[in-house]
Amino acid sequence: MSEHAQHATVLLKEAVDALRVKPEGIYVDATFGRGGHSREILRRLGPQGRLIAFDRDPQAIEVARMIVDPRFTVLHAGFSQLKDRLRHEQVDKVDGVLLDLGVSSPQLDDAARGFSFRMDGPLDMRMDTTRGRTAADWLAEVDQRELTEVIADYGEERFAKQVARAIVAARARGPIDSTRKLAAIVAEAVPTREPGQDPATRTFQAIRIFINQELEELSLVLPQCVELLAPGGRLVVISFHSLEDRIVKRFLKREARPDALLPKLPLRADQLPKPRLALVGKPMRPSAQEIDANPRARSAVMRVAERTPWGLAA
C-alpha cells in the first residue's frame, strides 16, 4: 500500500467543499502532506484550472512529484514564502488557499523523523530535513531558562521548570539524541499527567513547534493569504491544537471586524475600516464517524473565511 493511501486526510470533503472550487480557478494547497486535499481539488478542477502545492518536507515533495498533471505545480518551500514563490510562478491572485496544519501521520509513524515518543529514533523533529538544527542539536546547547519558556509556551506544560531542569541535568551525563531518551527523562520529571496522556506529549509538541517555528510561520502566512485572495476567494484552515487555532481565530476575527479595534473613536460609518474577510459558517470539527476511523482527527477544527472586495490593491 502506498504511503499516501495509508494517510487519512482529515476533513477531506469538508475542506474542499469549503473552497468552492471553480473549474477554471487557481488554488493553493499550502500543506501538501501526502496529497489528499490536492488530489480532491484536482478532481474538481477543469482543464484550465491550476493547483499549486507547497511543503517543507522532502518526502512529501517526492510524493507530490508522482502526480503527473499539467494543472499541478509543487514547490519545496514553507508556506511563509507563499507570496514570493507565487510571484515567481507569475501568480498574483488565487481563488482559494488551504492550510492543513500540524504533523502528518507518515511523519509521526516514521521513527527516523523523531516526532513521536512511541518509537525509538534519532531526535530530529525537522519538517525540512535538508536544513536547520535538529532537536538533539538544540537540546545540547539551549540554556535552562529558554528551554523552560519553550516547553511552557508551546507545550502548555505546567511542569516546564521540572522538565527543563531534568533535561539540562541529563545532558551533562551524555547526549540526548534519541526520542526514547528524551521521553524517559520527561517521564521521570513529570509527577502527574492527565489520564490517557503520555508524560512526554506536551514536551515533544513544544520542541517540535519551536524547531520548525510553526506558530511564526502561521502568523506570517495568514496576512499573505488575504492579500493573494481574489474577491470571493476562500481561506480554509484546519488546526490541530489550541495554540494554532487561537492564532487563526484571532486573525480571522480581526480581519472580519476591523471596526472593533476602534470602539471609542468618533468616526462615521463610512469612515470605519472595511473588513477584508467575511467569516463563513461556524468552526467545524470531524464527525464521530471520522474520529472513530482516524483518532488523530479528534483535535481538528476547521475555520473558513471569504475575501471581500474591500482593501484590494489598486
**Binding site, annotated residues for S-adenosyl-L-methionine:** 35-37, 55, 79, 100, 107
Task: Annotate 87-105 with DSSP letters as a single string.
Answer: HHTT---EEEEEEE-S--H
CA distance 25 to 239: 25
Task: Give the position of cell 520542541.
Answer: 207
CA distance 286 to 112: 29
CA distance 290 to 44: 22
Under 8 Å CB-to-CB from 63, ≥6 apart: which residues? 3, 4, 32, 34, 35
Q: Which residue ranges are tagged as binding site?
A: 35-37, 55, 79, 100, 107
Cα of 57 vs its chain's centroid, Å: 12
Cα separation of the two ends of the chain: 50
**125 contacts 27 by C-beta, under 8 angstroms:** no
Q: How many CA atoms lie within 13 A of 137 on its CB side?
A: 9
Longest dimension (CA), the chain: 67
Angle at the Cα of 209 from the Cα atoms of 203 and 214, rounded to 5 degrees: 165
